[in-house]
Amino acid sequence: MNAPPDRWSRVAEVVDAPDFALPWLDRFYDADDMELVLALAAGPRTAEDLAGALGLGDDGLQACLDRAHRRSIVDLTDEGVSAASFLDRSALWAQFEGWKDVPDDVRAQLAEWWLAHYAESVRETLTRFRDGHPDPGPDADYAYLLLSEAEDLVRSQKRVYLWPCDCRTLKGACDHSIYNCIRFANDRGLGWEISQERAIAILREADADGLTHTDYVGLGGETDPHAICNCCTCCCQPHLAAERLGVGDIWPRRRYLARLVPDACTLCGRCTERCPFGALTIQEGGDGDGELVLAAAECRGCGLCATGCPETAITMEPRREMTGRGASSPGAPA
C-alpha cells in the first residue's frame, strides 16, 4: 500500500470492511477512491460540500461521482452522497474488476464473510417463515421457478440485462459459467443489455447444465421482476444460507412437486443425475425390473428432472402450500 496504514484503517472503518481485508484494500480502492471515502467519513454530504472538500469543480466532481457510483464506491441518495459499504463494493469488484487479484485464502475468507453476512440478514425472516408467521418478510418469497415460468417472465420485460453471477463469482466452487444472471434493472450501468431471445437462450443453456431458476414469487403467484438467478447448490448463497440456518426444507420456497408417469419411464436414469437434491432414485425390483422412486420431502420443485426427461415421464404439479402460508407442510403434494 502506498498510502499510510492509518489512512487505510480509516477507510476500512468507514466502509465496514472485515479485518482480514485490510492488507488488501488497495485492490478494492484506488487513491481517488480513498480520498472520496475519507471525505465521507462523517456521513452523507451534499455535492457542493463534497466539491469543496475535494477541491473539484462541478464537472470534475460529476465525473468523479459518476465513476464512483458505477463502481459502488459511493451511494447517491436523497440525503446526498455517502460511502457505499465494503459489502456492496466487494460484490461489484468481484463481478467486474479483479476478483482473482487476491490470494486464494483471502478469496475464501471473503466468500465465507459474504455468506455469513447474507445468512444473518435473512435469519429473522426465515425463522418467522418456518414458524408459520403470516407476514415473515419479503425474503420469504424467494422461490424456485420452472423454466417455462422464467421464460415467460423474460418475455414480460421491456429491458433485460446480463450480469455475472455474484454468488458463483464470490464462491467459485464449480466450473459452471458465471454469465447467466438475468436482471431487469441496471442500477449502476454495468450490465450488458441483451435481447429477450438471448436471455431465453441463456436460461435454456443454464437449465441444460443443471442450474435451478429462482426469483421472488408471492403466494398468489405474482413474480417480482427482480432478477432470475440460475443457481448451483455449491455456490448459491440462498441455498448455502438455508442449509446453514436449517431451513433448506422450506426455502427457497417449493411451489411444485414432481409427478411420475411410470408407464412412460424407460429408467434411463437421466433425472436421477440431474436432480441436485437426490429426490429421485431407481430401485431394483426382485424380479430384475427397476422402479423410479420420488422422495417427495426432498423434491424442491425446480423442474430439472422434467426438463431433462426425454420421455416426458415427469410433470410438475403445484403444491397445496400455494393456497396460503402454513396451509400444509412444505413437502405436501397437491
Q: What pLDDT, in 10s, does the model give residues 189-212?
A: 999 999 999 999 999 999 999 999
Widest distance between CA atoms in the chain: 85
Angstrom CA distances, 12 to 38, 69, 113, stand at 10, 18, 15
Question: Residue 305: beta bridge partners?
Answer: none
Phi/psi at 17 (5° precision): -85, 145
Domains of the chain: 5-86 (1.10.10.10), 104-245 (no CATH), 256-318 (3.30.70.20)
User: By C-alpha distance, which of 175, 176, 173, 305 is closest to 229?
Assistant: 176
Report how far residue 191's alpha carbon sits from residue 206's, in angstroms, rounded to the nearest whole number. Answer: 18
Q: What is the pLDDT of residue 324?
A: 35
Report how far residue 211's alpha carbon sits from residue 243's, in angstroms, rounded to the nearest whole number. Answer: 18
Q: What is the pLDDT of residue 288?
A: 64
Measure the CA angle with vertex 271, ends 269 and 274; round to 5°: 115
Residues 317/326, Cβ–Cβ less than 8 Å? no
pTM > 0.75: yes or no: yes
Residue type, 276: P
Model confidence pLDDT, tens digit, residues 3-44: 677 999 999 999 999 999 999 999 999 999 999 999 999 999
pLDDT tens, the chain, 334 aa long: 566 779 999 999 999 999 999 999 999 999 999 999 999 999 999 989 998 989 988 888 999 999 999 999 999 988 899 999 999 999 999 999 987 789 999 999 999 999 999 999 999 999 999 999 999 999 999 999 999 999 999 999 999 999 999 999 989 999 999 999 999 999 889 999 999 999 999 999 999 999 999 999 987 777 777 899 999 999 999 999 999 999 999 999 999 999 999 999 999 999 999 999 999 999 987 666 889 999 999 999 999 999 999 999 999 999 975 433 433 333 333 3
Burial class from Cβ neighbours inside 10 Å (0-12, 13-18, 19+) for residue 90 reads buried
